[in-house]
Amino acid sequence: MSERVVILGGGISGLAAGYQLLRRDPEAEFFIFERSPHVGGLCRSVAGDGFTFDHTGHLLHLRTKQGRRFFLELLGDELTEHERNAWIYSKGAFTRYPFQCHTYGLPADVVTECLVGFLRARGEPAGEDESFYDWINRQFGSGIARHFMIPYNQKLWKTHPRDMTTEWLDRFIPRPSLEEVIRGAVSNDPTTLGYNATFFYPRSGGIAILPRTLARALSGRIELEKQASAVRCRSREVEFADGSRVGYDRLISTIPLPELVEMIEDVPKNLLAAARELRWVSVLNINFGIARPHLSDRHWIYVPEDRFSFYRVGFPGSFSSSMAPEGTSSIYTEISYLPDDPPDEGAAVHKAREDLVAMGILRPDDQILTTVVLRLPYAYVVFDRRRRPAVEAIRRFTSGHSIDLLGRFGAWTYASMEDCSNDAERLVERLFSPAG
């Protein structure tokens, strides 16, 4: 391929695209520009006081041959495979995940409501243009909807499921059989259901080993602390905050789509309006290092109730013993918020600790050895009814100007790390094809 390719963003998507370009053609002319001092994007880890914390839970769920081949070839023996041990905390009880087939341990009236609702919902036809709320009730019934699906998703997305579409669901929310629902109501059977029934995680170093390994293979082709400030489609040129410029034949953008549109010179007003319709949630990730070993053998816990500040809590030491010094443990919590309504850090840390004690995870006298607070300005794309037409309009424009959109926030979609690497591979294959 003789084209010069410029990649904006050094997260997993941008690095995977560069890796695939290099794999296809060692002489390919491409450059990756990342605005932060580090590669990885959200796929990063911080270390201090002997603890390692990821920017929230980042686990490799490898469900495709393509993704499994890529990551296992890249990291090999550095990865360990785990069987998921995920739970839910609600009604004062810990129950297994997924909720829809593990109601055993909940109050009898809740179990009954969930079972009856599931039975009544079976066979209901899909409505036209149904909302996420309608889909939940049709798939699982009113009981499961009321006691978990609605409160959890509203807490995570900061959006009522009535205002969300179903196009993102795909494999992410498993629907059990009637037998599984009944068995999970009368016994504590650890059924493995869902897209993340197993996952891989690095033996040491946290998830940051993944972008670091990719970056080593791309030595000399990555520039850090390089903030793009303008994209000139007519001259095919990117300008950076430091005043420098670089030309391109093909631009791959993995930066958040609203930011890309804002920096395109002479972009049509309707596209600016479309970009401003896009919504997302941010995450405050509060991590604690605890002076007590073996805090939990669980991997993570979903927390649907509003009385608790976080929607999920996890235990890095259950992924790898290297994440905390001997004789200690660590916890991460995730609090979602709308970008224009960020929580106060100090108050959030205090409330998170209180909530962990209320759940019985921490003891009141547990010593906190370290607290690390991380903010993820972009965490999840909100799939409301405005998203699809806005993204389609923007994509029509960018594809006509030699700009490819890639990644969770670049393409404005719901994508795992595996999805990002697979999409990068498909994009590079297209660029090398005769019609590319």
SS3 for 397?
Answer: helix
| pLDDT value for 123 | 67
The CA distance from 193 to 181, in Å, is: 11
Predicted confidence at residue 270, as pLDDT, reads 97
Closest by CA to 142, choosing from 175, 170, 114, is 114
Dist CA 32 CA 222 (whole Å): 5
CATH class for the domain made up of 5-80+203-278+384-432: alpha beta
Residue 32 has pLDDT above 70, yes or no: yes
Using DSSP, state whether 398 is helix, strand or coil. helix
Tell me whether the omega of the peptide bond preceding residue 98 falls within 30 degrees of 0, making it cis: yes
**15 exposed, middle or buried (CB, 10 Å; 0-12, 13-18, 19+)?**
buried
Amino acid at 158: K
Does the structural domain 86-195 have CATH classification 1.10.3110? Answer: yes
Q: What is the pLDDT of residues 183-234, one digit of tens each?
A: 999 998 776 565 568 999 999 999 999 999 999 999 999 999 999 999 999 9
Q: What whole-number distance in Å separates Cα of residue 400 and Cα of residue 321? A: 49
Nearest one of 252, 216, 221 to 74, comparing CA atoms: 216
Structure tokens at 336: 């979602």
Does residue 418 contact residue 12 with C-beta atoms inside 8 Å?
A: no
Which pLDDT score, from 0 to 100, does residue 390 have?
Answer: 98
pLDDT tier at 435, thresholds 50, 70, 90: low
8 Å CB contact between 353 and 309: no
- Model pLDDT, residue 59: 96
> What is the homologous superfamily of the domain 280-381 according to CATH?
Protoporphyrinogen oxidase, mitochondrial; domain 2 (3.90.660.20)
Domains 5-80+203-278+384-432 and 86-195 agree in fold: no
Per-domain boundaries in the chain: 5-80+203-278+384-432, 86-195, 280-381
Q: In the structure, how many helices (H) and strands (E) does the chain have? A: 12, 19
Confidence of residue 127 (pLDDT cuts 50, 70, 90): confident
CB 307 within 8 A of CB 383: no
The CA distance from 355 to 346, in Å, is: 14
Query: What's the pTM value of the predicted model, to 2 decimals?
Result: 0.95
Residue 245: predicted pLDDT: 98
Closest CA to 39 of 22, 21, 17, 23: 17
Read off the pLDDT of residues 361-410 as tens digits, 9 standing for 90 and up. Answer: 999 999 999 999 999 999 999 999 999 999 999 999 999 999 999 999 99
The predicted pLDDT at position 191 comes to 67
Average pLDDT over residues 336-357: 98
Q: What percent of the chain has pLDDT over 90?
A: 92
25, 252 Cβ separation under 8 angstroms: no
Could you tell me which of 273, 261, 286, 265 has the C-alpha nearest to residue 395? 261
pLDDT at 126 over 90: no
What pLDDT was estimated at residue 170?
Answer: 65
Q: CA-CA-CA-CA torsion for 288, 172, 207, 154, nearest 10 degrees?
A: -30
